[in-house]
Chain A
Amino acid sequence: MDKFTYFWSLIIVASTLFMIGAYKNVFLKIYYIVWVNRRVQEVNGAIDPVVTMPEVSTIINEAVMQNRIKNRSTFLWSRHSLIFFGFMVLFFFDCIYTVFGHYMHHYLHYEYFISGPGRAFLKFCMELSGAVLLLGLTAGLIHRIIFAKQERTLIDIKLIVLLWVVTLTGFLTEAFRLSIEPNDPFISYSFIGGNLAPVLQNLHLSGSNAAAAVWTFHATVTVAFFAYIPFSKFVHIMVAPIGRSITQNGNYGQMKRERITEGLL
């Protein structure tokens, strides 16, 4: 079974799981909420609609600027921002690299992202965002284990370790690949993987078998992580921006309470 078949099957399984989870834990929830809100409105004979759509600034503040964490502490916010921006950028370029690079090269012989300047750009961006992500995750891991006693629940540690492993093995995969392909023309753009490769060689760890094993491991945990998103606390990636934008830092609750109070007049 070659790499592509393996990865394809992984993606199909994981996407199915992801879709099931997203349907059950995100779509159905939001569908229910919209239904129940409308029903409350109908039963109470309310005139005004309950939902006022959030302003663009609210959405940016909540979904991008992570206001809910900014309100708590600057340290937590910077930590989470490293993870958030690192993850988002990495995920975006990874998708481009996988689809436009590997698959389009594999099936359509499209070269720009596999041997053209696109590859250099993607490599650099992915290395950078991966480093940012790893930095944030490591900070989070250390902070949770050492300082934040109340957050040292298994459920939290497990998740952060999973994502940490995903990121770390990503760098290792790149390093192993470069260690057996030292003449890669874009090696200088992989500023972490490229520097790790000679270290691996010196340690006599490199070899095509090892590289394949690391790649397989990385591909598996990455896809597992993807499938795990809607079933775990990672679901906040999808629901928190929605929920927080609509509830507008609690103002939505205030509006609902005022509407009830108005009904008492």
Chain B
Amino acid sequence: MSQYGFYFDKEKCIGCRACEVACQVWNNAVQTVKWRNVSCLTRGTYPEVTGVNASLACMHCAEAPCKKACPRQAISKEEDSGGVTVDQSRCVGCMLCLWACPFGAPQMGVKGRMEKCTFCEERPVGKIKRACEEICPQQAIVSGRIEDLVLRSKQVVAERLSYDKQAEVILGHEEK
């Protein structure tokens, strides 16, 4: 079983929300339901102001809390793709999954049932990018197998260390 995931570069994200709309256009989701959401925050007082943007969607967790939280067993983890999928015909729209999700990913669809990122299930991984990744003007989103993404983040840090000795090394993955 392979595990897919998203790599997100907060230094590149400019909060333009093209990923949100790309997801809506590709998946024909209605304009008010956003499977991918960008949060833009500004903190501090003038002129010492900092800001950060983050584009978040379903992370397709290995141990998905939403799956365990669902009282209808509507959420399942796909064996082959590693995607977390929701069976709309079992869902009752109670949104306990949203309560459980650490990333606030599940969305209430217009049909009154939970909808979320499907990892663009039509798009074969490896052959083509996800819609959000494809559209992102800054290439801040990268999708793929989790091992490749870990490798990628290491490369990014290594590249940075090559010119910036003060760079803070943050790796979101612990080797087992």
Contacts and interface: CB of A to CB of B under 8 A. Distances in A.
Contacts of A256: 101-104
A252 B99 contact: yes
A253 B105 contact: yes
A69 B92 CA distance: 12
A69 B112 contact: yes
Contact of B98 (A29, A253, A265): A253
Nearest to B91: A233
Interface string B77-99: 00000000000011011111011
Contacts of A230: 71
Q: Indicate the member of B10, B41, B43 with the most A CB atoms within 10 Å.
A: B41
A260 B103 contact: yes
A243 to B, nearest CB: 4
Contact of B41 (A26, A68, A265): A265
Given A68-B93, A68-B112, A253-B98, A29 B52 contact: no
A-side binding surface: helix, strand, loop or mixed?
helix
Nearest to B102: A40
Interface string B36-68: 010111010000001011101000000001001
B94 A261 contact: no
A37 B100 contact: yes
B98 A243 contact: yes
Interface residues of A, number: 41
B72 to A, nearest CB: 7
Interface residues on B, range: 35 or more
B96 A258 contact: no
Contacts of B24: none
Contacts of B101: 253, 256
A244 B69 contact: no
Nearest to B50: A265
Nearest to A244: B95
B113 to A, nearest CB: 10
Interface of B: 10, 37, 39-41, 43, 50, 52-54, 56, 65, 68-72, 89-90, 92-96, 98-108, 110-112
Interface of A: 25-26, 29-30, 32-33, 36-37, 40, 68-69, 71-72, 150, 153, 155, 230, 233, 235-236, 239-240, 242-244, 246-247, 249-250, 252-258, 260-262, 264-265
29 contacts: A25-B71, A25-B72, A33-B69, A40-B102, A69-B112, A72-B111, A72-B112, A155-B90, A233-B92, A235-B94, A239-B92, A240-B93, A242-B96, A243-B94, A243-B95, A244-B93, A244-B94, A244-B95, A246-B99, A247-B98, A253-B98, A254-B39, A256-B102, A256-B103, A257-B103, A258-B39, A261-B39, A261-B41, A265-B43
